[in-house]
A = this chain, B = another copy of it.
Amino acid sequence: MSKMQENTGNQYKFAQRMSNTPRSFVREILKVTENPEIISFAGGLPNPQSFPVGPISTSVSEVLEESGSEALQYSTTEGYTPLRKYIAERYSSQGLNVNEDEILITNGSQQCLDLVGKVFLDKGDTVLLEKPTYLAAIQAFSLYEVQFKSVRLLEDGVDIDEMENMLSTENIKLFYAVTNFQNPTGITYSNNKRKKLAKLMRDYDTILIEDNPYGEIRFMGSSIPPVKSYLDEGILFGSFSKIVSPGMRLGWIVAREKVMEKLIIAKQASDLHSNYFTQRIVYQYLNTNPVDEHIQKIRNLYKKQRNLMIKMIEEHFPPQVKYTQPEGGMFLWVTLPEGTSSLELFDRAIEENVAFVPGQAFFAEGNGENTMRLNFTNSDDKGIEEGIKRLGNVIKERLSQN
């Protein structure tokens, strides 16, 4: 830049990608709901009762006593090997054949999105999303200046015919799916749908990104193998956020060696490695506690909360309102009659001190004005009872005005 040009001083020259990336809508919503009088079904927080505070405390002491200096030092980009081995063995015990070299530890599964973006996405690439999809995936991929297409979600997963039609007419680089108890809808892909999806991905040479943060939190029905078990080249994300602690920001990517090489370079450039101290703590915790019992407790807790919310919806929402009945996870999805704006409803609900996330934020290509996401894991029984009652009243009031 020539010295002769005007000195703009305060005018920072931001990268092009920043102009495409929205500040998170949910973040703004959550600010409104910070008022403690508001019963909020808006957040996506696990129930803090599910955090194993005591056992974690013991694990920290053990790690610091046995190998304090080492646990506080720099470490390898891939992550703590015994922790990666633990994850691999847990997959193997669930029928997915994975070894520790195929696992990279990340800062929660959110960082998996960013690393996949770095490794695969060029400006102008087309990314296929579910309709609706996980909001933060839209944000993370937006930073790679991609275009979005989206494919309808049915009750048992994505609409395969619509998808094949898209794959055959568009140049789609990758497809991102949350296959268990999806955020925001709570929908789970059927086994049959998973097989068909795997075949489509292979036939059209499209990269599958399978995000599975809630997989362990299945409280009814029976567990279904990941799509990756039908598609070895698929990329799978996992997370300790819902089973140990989200504040520790520990997740992982499962990918084959060729992809792993690139992911490691991207991870190293991003932040060298994930917090090693907490990797050691989490490994110590997993290795010295009955983890399956702990997960079962979370399932029981969330099942009770989910059942109560559905019972209250049945009682207090008008019959025209539809909702999903998730078999796990943290969310259910409400569809109001066409023409009802959940954004308008949100403003009314806040007046009644109850909050949710208006659904349109989850649609990469617009629509969804008549939908909303409800979180059932972070309210107590009284909150669910009272909150759904209030929300029912607001919905009835709105529908009676039509």
- Is the CB of A224 closer than 8 A to any CB of chain B? no
Give which listed residue, B27, B203, B258, B278, contacts A10 with CB less than 8 A: B258
- Is the CB of A118 closer than 8 A to any CB of chain B? yes
Take A18-B119, A18-B265 as given contacts and tell me if A275 and B272 are in contact as well, using a CB distance cutoff of 8 Å.
no
The answer to whether A7 and B268 have CB atoms under 8 Å apart is no
- Is the CB of A171 closer than 8 A to any CB of chain B? yes
The answer to whether B73 and A21 have CB atoms under 8 Å apart is no
**Complex alpha-carbon distance, A264 and B28, angstroms:** 13
| B interface footprint on A125-138 (CB within 8 Å = 1, 0 otherwise) | 10000000000100
Q: Which residues of B contact A3 (CB under 8 A)?
A: 167-168, 203-204
Q: Which residues of B contact A261 (CB under 8 A)?
A: 23
The answer to whether B270 and A249 have CB atoms under 8 Å apart is no
The answer to whether A203 and B107 have CB atoms under 8 Å apart is no
Oligomeric state, in number of copies? 2
Give which listed residue, B57, B61, B202, contacts A9 with CB less than 8 A: B202
Give which listed residue, B1, B113, B249, contacts A204 with CB less than 8 A: B1
How many A residues face the partner with a CB closer than 8 A?
99
**Complex alpha-carbon distance, A70 and B45, angstroms:** 11
The answer to whether A56 and B64 have CB atoms under 8 Å apart is yes
Q: Which residues of B contact A176 (CB under 8 A)?
A: none
| B interface footprint on A69-91 (CB within 8 Å = 1, 0 otherwise) | 11111110100000000000000
| B interface footprint on A6-36 (CB within 8 Å = 1, 0 otherwise) | 0111111111111001111001000000000
**Complex alpha-carbon distance, A1 and B174, angstroms:** 11
Give which listed residue, B5, B12, B276, contacts A258 with CB less than 8 A: B12
A115 smallest CB distance to B (angstroms): 9
The answer to whether B203 and A7 have CB atoms under 8 Å apart is yes
**Complex alpha-carbon distance, A270 and B236, angstroms:** 18
Give which listed residue, B1, B14, B51, B69, contacts A73 with CB less than 8 A: B51
**Complex alpha-carbon distance, A123 and B63, angstroms:** 44
- Is the CB of A225 closer than 8 A to any CB of chain B? no
The answer to whether A167 and B1 have CB atoms under 8 Å apart is yes
Closest to A378 in B: B73
Interface residues of A in 257-295 (CB under 8 A from B): 258-259, 261-262, 264-266, 268-278
List 15 A-B pairs, Cβ < 8 Å: A3-B167, A7-B202, A11-B205, A12-B233, A53-B69, A56-B68, A57-B68, A60-B61, A106-B271, A107-B275, A111-B270, A139-B268, A139-B269, A247-B275, A270-B270
